[in-house]
Amino acid sequence: MAKKSIGYIKLIWTCPRCATRNPGPNKFCNGCGAPQPEDVQFEQPAEADLIKDSAELARAKAGPDIHCPYCGGRNPAGVKFCGACGGDLAQGKARQAGRVVGAYRAPSGATRPCPACGTPNPLTSLKCSNCGSALPAAEAPSPAAPARAPSAKTPLLIGGVAAALCLVAAVVLGFLFFQRDERPGIVESVAWERTIEIERFGPVEHQDWEDEVPAGASALSCEIEYRTTQDDPAPVATEVCGTPYTVDEGSGFGEVVQDCTYRVYEQMCTYTVEEWAVSDTRRSTGTDLNPQWPAVSLGSDDERRGGEHETFTVTLRSDGDALAYAPESAAEFAAFAMGSEWTVTVNGLGAIVAVEPAR
Ligand SMILES: [Zn+2]
Ligand SMILES: [Zn+2]
Ligand SMILES: [Zn+2]
């Protein structure tokens, strides 16, 4: 899936000493002045504006902050020496990045009252715009409860029962298939059919994607159709994106991203190619033991003989049943004289497995 960047937001961190919620990039707590601890986890506000300021954007994209190995101070990515103690940051530990913070919510205009003075403040604010009091965490407005996946228990049960029944059926069928029963049989009737295809050289219509149409083909028409779904954008495609979510950048900022796929549309073309194709079939049939090929006369140079096919059927009367048998060749067929006696091997499903002359 393609990851599409929507922008960056400022995350927040909560001071473990005084519980003040601070803007992510702040190194020190706005409430008590304590340094931001190394292990504090960034969160996102209930709603957040995308950053527009270019200096802040550059910081957001710089990468995870580095904690000084000597004093623990927090330094932005790319800095060589600690801003607090001057220590070499080469051995410093970069903050963890890449964690999904949660679904991103753009400002909706919703407000909540300041607990100190009652002034309504947008959900994006950490401080009251009127009295400056710290505002507690806001609940994200939830427009709809997430749809719960349907219970999988019932389909599983039905599936299990169906699988058991299938197994029983397979065992019974297998038993019948391999069961053998020898019976006497007398040839009651015979039949044969022989066909010869006539092929004609001419335009034949095909359909393919535009890039698969063969070189010498004449295109008739093309229509745009859905072809495939892929990770990368294409000239004609519909973008299908999931819910935007925020990823911790390790710098007090979060990147808002969306996973997208692309439904690609391309030209499906109808075209013709000059080639041989079956245009007619000549047929001969009979109910004796002398199969014949049909007479074929070709009309012109653009006609030729195509495939030849033959089928033979013998009906044997056995204990009042009519059993059908299909000899594989004209030579085998020729032995089934009317009224001749045979030993027929039948399986449990009533199909003939073998036919031998009666001893
Ligand atoms: Zn604090
Ligand atoms: Zn330091
Ligand atoms: Zn206030």
Buried-state track 163-188, b at ≥16 Cβ within 10 A, e below 16? eeeeeeeeeeeeeeeeeeeeeebebe
At 188 the pLDDT is 95
Q: Mention every residue, 6+ apart, whose C-beta is less than 8 A from residue 54.
A: none
Residue 283 pLDDT more than 60? yes
Answer yes or no: are the C-beta atoms of 8 and 60 closer than 8 Å.
yes
Q: How far apart are CA 290 and CA 302, in angstroms?
A: 32
Query: Which among 293, 294, 290 is positioned nearest to 333, based on CA atoms?
Result: 290
Q: Please tell me the distance between residue 3's alpha carbon and the centre of ligand 3 in angstroms.
A: 40
pLDDT-derived band at 151, boundaries 50, 70, 90: low
Q: What is the pTM of this model?
A: 0.60
* Mean pLDDT of all residues in 75-91: 91
Q: Where residue 152 falls among pLDDT bands split at 50, 70, 90?
A: low
Look at residue 91 and tell me whether its pLDDT is greater than 60. Answer: yes
Looking at all shown ligands, the one closest to residue 125's CA atom is 3
Q: From the CA of 99, how far away is ligand 1's center (Å)?
A: 24
Distance from Cα 223 to the centre of ligand 1, integer Å = 65
From the CB of residue 32, how many other CB atoms can be counted at a distance below 10 Å? 11
pLDDT of residue 137: 84
Among all bound ligands, the one having the nearest atom to the CA of 13 is: 1
Would the pLDDT of 226 be above 80?
yes
Tell me: pLDDT of 49 over 90: yes
| Whole-angstrom distance, CA of residue 209 vs CA of residue 57 | 44
Distance of CA 176 to the CA centre of its chain: 41
Query: Do residues 172 and 261 lie in contact, with contact meaning Cβ atoms separated by under 8 Å?
Result: no
Ligand number, closest to the Cα atom of 31: 1
Q: Which of 231, 249, 252 is nearest to 240 (CA)?
A: 231
Report CA dihedral (235, 240, 243, 248) to the nearest 10 degrees: -40
